[in-house]
Structure 1
Amino acid sequence: MRKLIYGMNVTLDGYIAAPGDDIGWGGPSDELFGWWLDQERASGLSLYGRKLWETMSSHWPTGDQQPGATPAEIEFARNWRETPKVVFSSTIDEVDWNTRVVTGDAVTEITRLKAEDGGPMGIGGATLAGAAMRAGLIDEYVLATHPVLVGGGTPFFTALDSWVNVNPVETRTFPGGVLLTRYETKR
């Protein structure tokens, strides 16, 4: 059975994007970017909601060819293209870069994917992750909390139908005051 991990950069007040889908507040240090790269390398499958897919696919297919790309960014772009991905959307028809689209029920498909053998799956996008949270499918939460308050936007956590108890498994500080925390869901 696969593990489902929900992890993103987040503001101190709990948002993954400021109003207007602005993510300019969250530029990771080289060290934090390297940590995210290691997580991506360990992932067997990436699950995206439409908005996050549009953000990622607008940069990473050619991220290794951008002027000034760091070695970590070059490796991230190559890994991103090679990693299997699933986009959950009713409005996207075509995808590329080792990706397929699911237009049906996300919870049903994520449940099916979790039951398969394979490496961990990363899930991103507030709406998609929120559906997985409410269905009790998230096994691990990873928050890279940046020391900034944006006052609104897209929250990391969605409204839940019941409590979710977690165990802390890692706390680490990165340059710029970013605090990484990882929690496993108690089962």
Structure 2
Amino acid sequence: MTRKLIFGMNLSLDGYIAAPGDDIGWSEPSDELFQWWLDYELAISRSLYGRKLWETMSSYWPTGDQQPGATAAEIEFARNWRNTPKTVFSSTSGQLGWNTRLVTGDAVAEIARLKAEDGGPLSIGGATLAGAAMRAGLIDEYALAVHPVLVGGGKPFFAALDSWVNLNLVETRTFPGGVVLTRYETRR
């Protein structure tokens, strides 16, 4: 039995996780969507990050629970983020901290090794890292929180693939502000 690998992120209607200049200002979640992401993260046993997403997350969440006006959900998210084991795939990141391990070698081989271990689901984040896992056929589920904005370019959610990947729809849900969540499982 292998662990499930889930790729989930906020994205624009035209398919980008960040607008040009790595701008994610358009993806501010409602309280209800933030709670959905918190519940998602609470179910994850290990998070896999590419360098850029790691830098974004680690610049805020280690002290996110200490920020003025932090909500109960943000406090719980920050605590969970610090406690959840994380693997960062990078050839340039130095000190990591917060229950994090650095992998500088073959990302696809390491992801396959982690999937083969016993344990709960894995999440993967970062366009480049997730793209490599997509091309290798390692992603089992996609969770897309599509925001009603067209950004016209930037970092795409989906990578170029060598062949089709057939999916089964497992959930749809609408959130305040017109965000539509869709979850798909890879058809094996």
TM-score computed with the length of structure 2 as normaliser: 0.99
| Cα displacement (A) at 1:94 | 1.5
| Corresponding residue of 1:37 | 38
CA separation in 1, counterparts of 2:3 and 2:132?
A: 18
Deviations 1:33-91 (A, max 9, x none): 00000010000000000000000000000000000000000000000000000000000
| Corresponding residue of 2:24 | 23
| Corresponding residue of 1:55 | 56
The aligned amino acid for 1:71 is A
| Corresponding residue of 2:109 | 108
| Corresponding residue of 2:162 | 161
| SS of alignment partner, residue 167 of structure 1 | strand
Deviations 1:2-51 (A, max 9, x none): 10000000000000000000000000000000000001000000000000
Query: Are 1:95 and 2:127 matched, yes or no?
Result: no
Deviations 1:89-116 (A, max 9, x none): 0001221000010000000000000000
- Consecutive unaligned residues of structure 1, counting only runs of 5 or more, are none
CA separation in 1, counterparts of 2:45 and 2:118?
A: 10
| Cα displacement (A) at 1:128 | 0.1
| Cα displacement (A) at 1:164 | 0.2
| SS of alignment partner, residue 26 of structure 2 | helix
| Corresponding residue of 1:148 | 149
| Corresponding residue of 1:65 | 66
| SS of alignment partner, residue 43 of structure 1 | coil
- Report percent identity of matched pairs: 82
| SS of alignment partner, residue 181 of structure 2 | strand
| Corresponding residue of 2:176 | 175
Residues 125-136 of structure 1: matches in 2 within 5 Å?
125-136=126-137
| Corresponding residue of 1:74 | 75
The aligned amino acid for 2:53 is L
| SS of alignment partner, residue 91 of structure 1 | coil
| Corresponding residue of 2:139 | 138
Runs ≥4 residues deviating over 6 A = none
Pick which of 126-135 and 93-102 moved more: 93-102
| Residues paired across the two proteins, number | 187
CA separation in 2, counterparts of 1:112 and 1:99?
A: 17
